[in-house]
Amino acid sequence: MKTKTSITLSAPLLVKIDRQIGKRGSRSAYIEKVLHDHFRDSARRAIQMRDRELIDAAADRLNKEMEDVLHFQAPYL
């Protein structure tokens, strides 16, 4: 369901939007797509940041584990 709303944008921004959508485009559709993309990308960045924090938190333990494995294998190489 769509809800009609009103926003105020600067004239230079409207010019950029109009150039982007062309003569047959819809400002509303364009702005809606841009906002959807923004929220999707924002959620993706939050997930990536969380994943990075988890990896960083485990890095020392994993590196130590790898050192132990390499030390154990060294006599057999």
Question: Do residues 20 and 30 make contact, with C-beta atoms less than 8 angstroms apart?
Answer: yes
Residue 8 is predicted with a pLDDT of 97
Q: Could you tell me what percent of the chain has a pLDDT over 90?
A: 84
Question: Do residues 27 and 37 make contact, with C-beta atoms less than 8 angstroms apart?
Answer: no
20-39 pLDDT, tens digit each = 999 999 999 999 999 999 99
Residue 73 is predicted with a pLDDT of 84
Residue numbers of the chain with a pLDDT score lower than 50: none
What pTM does this model have?
0.68
User: How far is the C-alpha of 47 from the C-alpha of 74, rounded, in Å?
Assistant: 38
Residue 74 is predicted with a pLDDT of 79
Residue 18 is predicted with a pLDDT of 96
Positive or negative: CA dihedral 27, 2, 41, 11: positive
